[in-house]
Amino acid sequence: MADVLEDKRTATRFRILAEIADRQPAVSQGEIADAVGVTSQAVSEYTRGLVEDGLVEKEGRSRYRVTKEGVDWLLQSATDVRRFADHVTDDILGNVGEDAAIARTDIEAGTTVSLSLEDGLLHATPNDEGPATGIATTDAEAGEDVGVTEFEGIIDLEPGRVTVYQVPPVRSGGSRTVDGESLAAVCEDAPVLAATGVEAVVALRSAGIEPNTTFAPGEVAAEAAERGLNVVIVATADSVGRVTDALRDVGVAYEVANLD
């Protein structure tokens, strides 16, 4: 545990010194007492100790300033607290966190499972041979959802590709200018198909294709690509910028193409 958290007195000392640093040079002991949750008398006693230890210097009545030594102690203590918080988040909570996966075969609670992504969904297999493993927390038959915790390793995943095809706006001919066979060809094997803009949706429906979604296609494509799925987006030209902005915001690679 971080030294500053080992006992209440040290933790209170840290908080009071941080409050002084935040409010200096005009320091109200009453305000610090309210912020920290102690009495004004306690603040006075702690401040006197900080002055004696050379972490704070008194400049006059109710005027204090944190010294270089005080700043160094605050920085070191804050670093220790941050490291401890990272340990709690990554090592402790990361292990007790639980997620759901699809059982490939029957699994008993307590079994070590290998984890993989298929069709964008987490799957679990009862063995410890994969690059990513966990411990099953529930019993499950093949095809059922199974709880998994104590994750270790990294799932081997190749990010999906996102291709955006443009459809002219209605003022430039709209869906009527789109060759249905060409559109059907680029959409045929897409695991995820999204559309945005009336012209794009009509072009798809005219080709006998119904998109998976017509809402937030950029966000949907980004999440699908991060789970290893290839995505095709058919977008009215006026909407392409909004789609690509959403993809750039999360760092997903994409290509904008025209239909042949």
Kindly give the confidence (pLDDT) of every residue in the chain, 260 residues in length, as a single tens digit, with 9 standing for 90 and above. Answer: 556 677 788 889 999 999 999 988 988 989 999 999 999 999 999 999 999 999 999 988 889 999 999 999 998 888 878 777 766 566 554 555 688 999 999 999 999 999 998 888 999 999 998 888 999 999 999 999 999 988 888 887 788 999 999 999 999 999 999 999 999 999 999 999 999 999 999 999 999 999 999 999 999 999 999 888 999 999 999 999 999 999 988 888 899 998 86
Sheet (strand 192-196) strand order: 192-196, 231-236, 162-167, 254-258
Question: Under a CB-based contact definition with an 8 Å cutoff, are residues 230 and 160 in contact?
Answer: yes
DSSP 26: B
| Dist CA 204 CA 236 (whole Å) | 11
Taking phi first (over 0 means left), then psi (-120 to 50 degrees means alpha), and beta for anything else, what does residue 124 get? Answer: beta
Q: Is the pTM of this model over 0.85?
A: no
